[in-house]
Amino acid sequence: MIQSVAPGVFVETAHLGSNNAIVSTTDGVVLVDAPHRPTDAVAWRATAEKFGEIRYLIHTDHHIDHTMGNYYLPGLVVGQDRTRDGLVNHFPEPGYIDDLIRIIDPEGVPLMAGHKPRLPDITFTDEMDLYVGTTRLRLISLSGHTPNTIGVLLPDEGIFFSGDNVCAASLPSFQEAYVDEWLRTLDRISELDFDVLVPGHGDLTNKAFVATFKAQMQEVVGQVAAARSAGSSREEAAENIRYEDNIHGATPDWSVGYPDDILEMLQVRSICQIYDQIEAGTLA
């Protein structure tokens, strides 16, 4: 169900995949992240265009659950420069995506003919301001969940879109994370001026939740550190430590999630990534 966050700002938290936002301005529409499922993306375009022409589509990272639906959406694509690099050089093979869509969106399979992600038309490295009509959007590079994860601040409305640096559904994947930078990024997010936090996945929340999320992260990091201290190898830690995944797995909102082998792969890669960073000394 689409929720109204402020006048002209709407968020859909019930898509399988990322949260998707519509920012309706006096001069067209800005979208934050694209639906994962092709059928959701096509419907989302129709919903957004009721508010006017779609001018910009901002991606908070390069992962397919935030980007692949951009094929079905118009507007200039905006992202951090490494998001463009990720879409060019590290986009999953078509076979992987086709197999996944067959499971999570069977009706969307015909829409996959010719699918390829649209690349960012506009990129930035650290920060940029986007002025659309009378709306100001501040895009801030915030390394953490990925090196190229960004936050989008609407300073005048007091709304912050955190991307997957903060998720209310559960912890996201750590497979491309820089965990020490992520923890620092959470402190930086807490210092920004906003009231409503739109997480990468899950229900709308507020700034106080950032500390809760940080504690959830530290709990898993602590488990990996303890296993390593007790002599577990990387592989043993990755086999034994698990955290809840309500982002890719089935939930009350979507009865069909990612298949078990992919859920398992994401967990293994996440635990390995944390273990490696502890071993390299970049993480206490």
Chain positions contacting Zn ion, by CB under 5 A: 18, 65, 164, 200
Interstrand relation of 54-58 and 76-80 (parallel, antiparallel or unpaired): parallel
**What is the closest distance, in whole angstroms, from the C-beta atom of residue 131 to Zn ion in the complex?**
27
**What is the closest distance, in whole angstroms, from the C-beta atom of residue 279 to Zn ion in the complex?**
26
| Nearest to Zn ion of 181, 245 (CB atom) | 245
Separation CA 32–CA 60 (nearest Å): 7
Residue pair 45/54 in contact by the 8 Å Cβ criterion: yes
The answer for residues whose C-beta is within 8 angstroms of residue 158's C-beta and 6 or more apart is 6, 193, 194, 195, 196
| Nearest to Zn ion of 164, 245 (CB atom) | 164
Residue nearest to Zn ion (CB): 164
Backbone dihedral region for residue 245 (phi beyond 0: left; psi -120 to 50: alpha; all else: beta) = beta
**What is the closest distance, in whole angstroms, from the C-beta atom of residue 66 to Zn ion in the complex?**
5
Q: Is residue 169 packed enough to be buried (19+ CB in 10 Å), middle (13-18) or exposed (0-12)?
A: buried
| Nearest to Zn ion of 197, 237 (CB atom) | 197
Separation CA 142–CA 165 (nearest Å): 8
**What is the closest distance, in whole angstroms, from the C-beta atom of residue 135 to Zn ion in the complex?**
24
Give the H or E element holding residue 276.
helix 260-279
| Nearest to Zn ion of 24, 173 (CB atom) | 173
**What is the closest distance, in whole angstroms, from the C-beta atom of residue 172 to Zn ion in the complex?**
5
| Nearest to Zn ion of 18, 270 (CB atom) | 18
